Amino acid sequence: MSKLEAAIDAIVKVFEEYAGTDDNKKSLSNAELKELINKELSNPDFQSKIDKEDIDEALENIDKNHDGQVNFREFSQCVALLAKGCFKKKYGKDKGKDKDKGKDKDKGKDKGHR
Amino acid sequence: MSKLEAAIDAIVKVFEEYAGTDDNKKSLSNAELKELINKELSNPDFQSKIDKEDIDEALENIDKNHDGQVNFREFSQCVALLAKGCFKKKYGKDKGKDKDKGKDKDKGKDKGHR
Protein backbone atom coordinates (compact mmCIF):
# COMPACT_ATOMS: atom_id res chain seq x y z
CA MET A 1 0.00 0.00 0.00
CA SER A 2 1.05 3.62 -0.49
CA LYS A 3 2.10 5.88 2.40
CA LEU A 4 -1.39 7.43 2.52
CA GLU A 5 -3.21 4.09 2.30
CA ALA A 6 -1.01 2.67 5.07
CA ALA A 7 -1.73 5.74 7.23
CA ILE A 8 -5.50 5.36 6.73
CA ASP A 9 -5.23 1.65 7.50
CA ALA A 10 -3.25 2.42 10.66
CA ILE A 11 -5.91 4.89 11.89
CA VAL A 12 -8.52 2.11 11.66
CA LYS A 13 -6.21 -0.44 13.31
CA VAL A 14 -5.32 1.85 16.24
CA PHE A 15 -9.01 2.53 16.89
CA GLU A 16 -9.79 -1.20 16.77
CA GLU A 17 -6.94 -1.99 19.15
CA TYR A 18 -8.21 0.34 21.89
CA ALA A 19 -11.97 0.11 21.26
CA GLY A 20 -11.76 -3.67 21.36
CA THR A 21 -11.00 -4.08 25.05
CA ASP A 22 -14.65 -4.00 26.16
CA ASP A 23 -17.68 -5.58 24.49
CA ASN A 24 -18.48 -2.40 22.51
CA LYS A 25 -15.96 -2.76 19.69
CA LYS A 26 -17.33 0.20 17.77
CA SER A 27 -16.56 2.97 20.20
CA LEU A 28 -14.00 4.07 22.75
CA SER A 29 -15.08 4.36 26.37
CA ASN A 30 -13.47 7.11 28.44
CA ALA A 31 -11.01 4.59 29.90
CA GLU A 32 -10.11 3.25 26.44
CA LEU A 33 -9.67 6.80 25.11
CA LYS A 34 -7.36 7.70 28.01
CA GLU A 35 -5.28 4.58 27.36
CA LEU A 36 -5.07 5.45 23.64
CA ILE A 37 -3.96 9.02 24.38
CA ASN A 38 -1.33 7.91 26.91
CA LYS A 39 0.10 5.24 24.64
CA GLU A 40 -0.39 6.68 21.16
CA LEU A 41 0.07 10.45 21.62
CA SER A 42 2.89 10.75 24.11
CA ASN A 43 6.04 10.65 21.98
CA PRO A 44 8.17 13.80 22.57
CA ASP A 45 9.28 13.83 18.94
CA PHE A 46 5.63 13.96 17.82
CA GLN A 47 4.71 16.51 20.49
CA SER A 48 7.44 18.78 19.15
CA LYS A 49 5.62 18.83 15.79
CA ILE A 50 2.37 20.28 17.16
CA ASP A 51 1.37 23.00 19.63
CA LYS A 52 -0.07 21.74 22.91
CA GLU A 53 -3.17 23.94 22.43
CA ASP A 54 -3.94 22.11 19.18
CA ILE A 55 -3.63 18.69 20.85
CA ASP A 56 -5.88 19.91 23.66
CA GLU A 57 -8.42 21.37 21.22
CA ALA A 58 -8.56 18.13 19.20
CA LEU A 59 -9.03 15.99 22.32
CA GLU A 60 -11.41 18.33 24.15
CA ASN A 61 -13.88 18.29 21.25
CA ILE A 62 -13.56 14.59 20.44
CA ASP A 63 -16.88 13.43 21.94
CA LYS A 64 -18.99 15.60 19.60
CA ASN A 65 -22.41 14.17 20.55
CA HIS A 66 -21.46 14.04 24.27
CA ASP A 67 -22.66 10.48 24.74
CA GLY A 68 -19.59 9.53 26.79
CA GLN A 69 -18.31 7.33 23.97
CA VAL A 70 -16.10 8.15 21.00
CA ASN A 71 -17.25 6.51 17.77
CA PHE A 72 -15.02 6.10 14.72
CA ARG A 73 -16.34 9.23 12.98
CA GLU A 74 -15.43 11.35 16.02
CA PHE A 75 -12.03 9.65 16.29
CA SER A 76 -11.16 10.19 12.60
CA GLN A 77 -12.20 13.84 12.88
CA CYS A 78 -9.84 14.17 15.87
CA VAL A 79 -7.01 12.64 13.85
CA ALA A 80 -7.71 15.15 11.05
CA LEU A 81 -7.53 18.00 13.60
CA LEU A 82 -4.22 16.68 14.97
CA ALA A 83 -2.79 16.47 11.44
CA LYS A 84 -3.98 20.03 10.83
CA GLY A 85 -2.20 21.11 14.03
CA CYS A 86 1.05 19.59 12.77
CA PHE A 87 0.65 21.31 9.40
CA LYS A 88 -0.12 24.64 11.09
CA LYS A 89 3.01 24.37 13.27
CA LYS A 90 5.09 23.93 10.13
CA TYR A 91 3.40 26.31 7.67
CA GLY A 92 1.50 28.74 9.85
CA LYS A 93 -2.25 29.21 10.13
CA ASP A 94 -4.28 28.26 7.01
CA LYS A 95 -5.40 31.71 5.79
CA GLY A 96 -7.93 29.92 3.62
CA LYS A 97 -9.90 29.06 6.77
CA ASP A 98 -10.29 32.66 7.88
CA LYS A 99 -10.96 33.72 4.31
CA ASP A 100 -13.82 31.13 4.08
CA LYS A 101 -15.34 32.36 7.31
CA GLY A 102 -14.97 35.98 6.23
CA LYS A 103 -16.42 35.22 2.80
CA ASP A 104 -19.63 33.64 4.14
CA LYS A 105 -20.06 36.32 6.75
CA ASP A 106 -19.58 39.34 4.52
CA LYS A 107 -21.16 37.87 1.39
CA GLY A 108 -23.32 40.95 0.86
CA LYS A 109 -20.95 43.62 2.15
CA ASP A 110 -17.74 43.30 0.14
CA LYS A 111 -19.32 42.57 -3.24
CA GLY A 112 -17.64 45.67 -4.67
CA HIS A 113 -14.10 44.50 -3.80
CA ARG A 114 -14.15 41.14 -5.74
CA MET B 1 6.66 7.48 17.22
CA SER B 2 3.54 5.39 17.84
CA LYS B 3 1.44 3.91 15.01
CA LEU B 4 -1.04 6.79 15.29
CA GLU B 5 1.65 9.50 15.45
CA ALA B 6 3.41 7.97 12.43
CA ALA B 7 0.08 7.90 10.52
CA ILE B 8 -0.58 11.59 11.31
CA ASP B 9 2.99 12.45 10.29
CA ALA B 10 2.54 10.52 7.03
CA ILE B 11 -0.67 12.43 6.18
CA VAL B 12 1.27 15.71 6.44
CA LYS B 13 4.21 14.34 4.46
CA VAL B 14 2.05 13.00 1.61
CA PHE B 15 0.29 16.38 1.30
CA GLU B 16 3.65 18.21 1.28
CA GLU B 17 5.01 15.87 -1.38
CA TYR B 18 2.21 16.55 -3.87
CA ALA B 19 1.42 20.18 -2.94
CA GLY B 20 5.07 21.08 -3.29
CA THR B 21 5.38 20.69 -7.05
CA ASP B 22 4.18 24.23 -7.86
CA ASP B 23 4.95 27.48 -6.03
CA ASN B 24 1.85 27.18 -3.80
CA LYS B 25 3.14 24.71 -1.23
CA LYS B 26 0.07 25.05 0.98
CA SER B 27 -2.54 23.67 -1.35
CA LEU B 28 -3.08 21.06 -4.03
CA SER B 29 -3.97 22.23 -7.51
CA ASN B 30 -6.30 20.02 -9.56
CA ALA B 31 -3.32 18.51 -11.35
CA GLU B 32 -1.49 17.81 -8.05
CA LEU B 33 -4.65 16.27 -6.56
CA LYS B 34 -5.09 13.99 -9.58
CA GLU B 35 -1.46 12.88 -9.28
CA LEU B 36 -1.92 12.19 -5.56
CA ILE B 37 -5.07 10.14 -6.17
CA ASN B 38 -3.48 8.10 -8.96
CA LYS B 39 -0.34 7.36 -6.98
CA GLU B 40 -1.57 7.21 -3.40
CA LEU B 41 -5.07 5.70 -3.67
CA SER B 42 -4.76 3.06 -6.35
CA ASN B 43 -3.59 -0.05 -4.50
CA PRO B 44 -6.04 -2.95 -5.07
CA ASP B 45 -5.46 -4.24 -1.53
CA PHE B 46 -6.53 -0.86 -0.11
CA GLN B 47 -9.44 -0.55 -2.54
CA SER B 48 -10.74 -3.91 -1.30
CA LYS B 49 -11.03 -2.39 2.19
CA ILE B 50 -13.44 0.38 1.18
CA ASP B 51 -16.54 0.70 -1.03
CA LYS B 52 -16.00 2.65 -4.24
CA GLU B 53 -18.94 4.93 -3.38
CA ASP B 54 -17.14 6.02 -0.19
CA ILE B 55 -13.93 6.80 -2.08
CA ASP B 56 -15.97 8.77 -4.63
CA GLU B 57 -17.88 10.63 -1.90
CA ALA B 58 -14.67 11.59 -0.09
CA LEU B 59 -13.01 12.84 -3.27
CA GLU B 60 -16.06 14.56 -4.76
CA ASN B 61 -16.50 16.74 -1.68
CA ILE B 62 -12.81 17.46 -1.12
CA ASP B 63 -12.77 21.08 -2.39
CA LYS B 64 -15.25 22.30 0.22
CA ASN B 65 -14.93 26.03 -0.54
CA HIS B 66 -14.84 25.39 -4.32
CA ASP B 67 -11.82 27.60 -4.91
CA GLY B 68 -10.22 25.06 -7.25
CA GLN B 69 -7.52 24.31 -4.68
CA VAL B 70 -7.42 21.77 -1.86
CA ASN B 71 -5.93 23.16 1.35
CA PHE B 72 -4.65 20.94 4.16
CA ARG B 73 -7.88 21.20 6.21
CA GLU B 74 -9.89 19.91 3.23
CA PHE B 75 -7.31 17.17 2.57
CA SER B 76 -7.27 15.95 6.19
CA GLN B 77 -11.10 15.90 6.24
CA CYS B 78 -10.99 13.75 3.09
CA VAL B 79 -8.54 11.36 4.78
CA ALA B 80 -10.92 11.13 7.77
CA LEU B 81 -13.79 10.27 5.39
CA LEU B 82 -11.70 7.59 3.68
CA ALA B 83 -10.82 6.07 7.06
CA LYS B 84 -14.50 6.13 7.99
CA GLY B 85 -15.28 4.32 4.72
CA CYS B 86 -12.80 1.59 5.62
CA PHE B 87 -14.29 1.25 9.11
CA LYS B 88 -17.82 1.14 7.69
CA LYS B 89 -16.85 -1.64 5.27
CA LYS B 90 -15.58 -3.69 8.19
CA TYR B 91 -18.14 -2.91 10.90
CA GLY B 92 -21.17 -1.66 9.02
CA LYS B 93 -22.70 1.80 9.11
CA ASP B 94 -22.11 3.81 12.32
CA LYS B 95 -25.61 3.84 13.85
CA GLY B 96 -24.42 6.65 16.10
CA LYS B 97 -24.43 8.95 13.06
CA ASP B 98 -28.08 8.34 12.22
CA LYS B 99 -28.97 8.47 15.90
CA ASP B 100 -27.33 11.93 16.18
CA LYS B 101 -29.17 13.21 13.14
CA GLY B 102 -32.42 11.77 14.43
CA LYS B 103 -31.82 13.20 17.89
CA ASP B 104 -31.39 16.79 16.72
CA LYS B 105 -34.29 16.57 14.32
CA ASP B 106 -36.85 15.09 16.72
CA LYS B 107 -35.64 16.87 19.85
CA GLY B 108 -39.12 18.02 20.80
CA LYS B 109 -41.09 15.05 19.46
CA ASP B 110 -39.76 11.93 21.18
CA LYS B 111 -39.16 13.41 24.62
CA GLY B 112 -41.48 10.78 26.12
CA HIS B 113 -39.43 7.81 24.80
CA ARG B 114 -36.08 8.74 26.41
Over residues A90-106, the pLDDT tens digits come to 999 866 444 444 444 34
Query: How high is the ipTM of this complex?
Result: 0.81
Q: How far is CA B41 from CA A68, B13, B45, B79, in A?
A: 34, 15, 10, 11
* B13 vs B110, higher pLDDT: B13
- Which residues share a beta bridge with A27? A71
Whole-number Cα distances in Å, A52 to A89, B3, B8, B111:
10, 20, 15, 40
Choose the mutation target among B24, B50, B72 for the interface with A, i.e. most A CBs under 10 Å: B72
Q: Which of residues 35-74 of A touch B (CB under 8 A)?
A: 36, 39-43, 45-46, 49, 64-65, 67, 69, 71-73
Give the range of the structural domain holding residue A12, as residue numbers without chain letter: 3-91
Cβ neighbors of B70 (< 8 A, separation 6 or more) are B27, B28, B33, B62, B63, B78
The answer to whether residue A111 sits within a structural domain is: no
Q: Which residues of chain B neighbour A45 with C-beta distances below 8 Å?
A: 1, 5
- How far from the centroid of its chain's Cα atoms is residue A86's Cα? 10
pLDDT bucket at B99, cuts 50 / 70 / 90? very low
Mean residue pLDDT of chain B comes to: 84
Supply the pTM of this predicted model: 0.81
Rg, chain A, Cα only? 17
Answer yes or no: is B82 within a domain.
yes
Residue B96, domain member (yes or no): no
Q: List CB contacts (< 8 A) between B54 and chain A.
A: none
Number of domains observed in the structure of chain A: 1
